[in-house]
Amino acid sequence: MSQSRSTALVTGASSGIGAAYADRLARRGHDLVLVARDAARLQTLAARLRSETGAAVDILPADLTKPADLAALEERLRQDGRIGLLVNNAGAVSPGGFAAEDLQPLYTLVDLNVTALTRLAGAAVQGFLAHGRGGAIVNLGSVVGFAPELFAGVYGATKAYVLALSQAMNAELAGKNIYVQAVLPSGTKTEIWERSGRATDDWMMDVDDLVDAALVGFDRREAVTIPPFEDAALFDTYETARKALLSQFRASKPATRYRT
């Protein structure tokens, strides 16, 4: 890795959103650490980016639902002082819900979408603080976090968690030169849908458009970037209403409607 270029670590980098981030970040002057299960795809992507951009690219084949693979990646984030950006993109959609005969896919989804994302974010923060240079974390969520009833099972809940975690991290770390961005796509044309037994649709956003928009939000240091929202005031209204609830939380008695 170059000593003068900041390094970005991208999970889920072998295809879709992660591969698009890798391409854009290499063209922005970052060296890369690319993480995914598919080593062959990572090799192909890494070779292309080295050739086209001159970036130094490491690949780390890993399954983030496996404790040993996850621990190794956490260690890289803590120890490698060149890493200044984590793109926490690896994720999946469960094919079923709680009425399915086999609930293991739901639990595996939590391992990937929640546990792995959280542990990597934590390791990145520890690394940024230890090396004293600050950094940034991009957490990929989904607009389904606002509408968890659209998908059976836990997918929407995991994405609501990503937004809440990102907001909590930003509040905690803003004074420590660490920026956290939550990116909330709507339907995006990636392989994630095929793997869950669903098909993409014409209304879905192209991956390149999604990532380019997310990077505009990144450059603006938005805490939450929602590329499909044309009317940004809708989210501002939502946030204002959410924060207004805080005034109702401190009470020594139940609300009047609950007194019988």
User: For the residues 170-181, what does the mean pLDDT come to?
Assistant: 95
pLDDT at 247: 87
The tokens of 150 are what?
């659209």
pTM to 2 decimal places: 0.91
pLDDT at 192: 64
Kindly tell me if the per-residue pLDDT of 43 is higher than 50: yes
Compute how many other C-beta atoms are within 10 angstroms of the C-beta atom of residue 236: 10
Q: Which range among 30-34, 190-194, 224-228 shows the weakest confidence by mean pLDDT?
A: 190-194
155 is catalytic: yes
pLDDT at 240: 94
pLDDT at 204: 76
Which of the two residues, 174 and 116, has the higher pLDDT score? Answer: 116
Kindly tell me if the per-residue pLDDT of 52 is higher than 60: yes
pLDDT at 156: 94
In eight-state DSSP terms, residue 178 is E
Kindly tell me if the per-residue pLDDT of 5 is higher than 50: yes
Which of the two residues, 99 and 188, has the higher pLDDT score? Answer: 99
Q: How far is CA 62 from CA 71, 137, 157, 190, 191, in A?
A: 10, 19, 25, 20, 18
Tell me the percentage of the chain whose pLDDT exceeds 70: 93
User: For the residues 91-102, what does the mean pLDDT come to?
Assistant: 88
User: For the residues 224-234, what does the mean pLDDT come to?
Assistant: 92
User: For the residues 241-258, what does the mean pLDDT come to?
Assistant: 90
Q: Is 138 left (phi over 0), alpha (psi -120 to 50) or beta?
A: beta
The domains of the chain, with CATH numbers, are 7-258 (3.40.50.720)
Kindly tell me if the per-residue pLDDT of 189 is higher than 50: yes
21, 107, 155, 258: which is the annotated catalytic residue? 155
Q: What b/e sequence results for 202-223 when a residue is b if at least 16 CB atoms lie within 10 Å of its CB, and e otherwise? A: eebbebeebbebbbebbeeebb
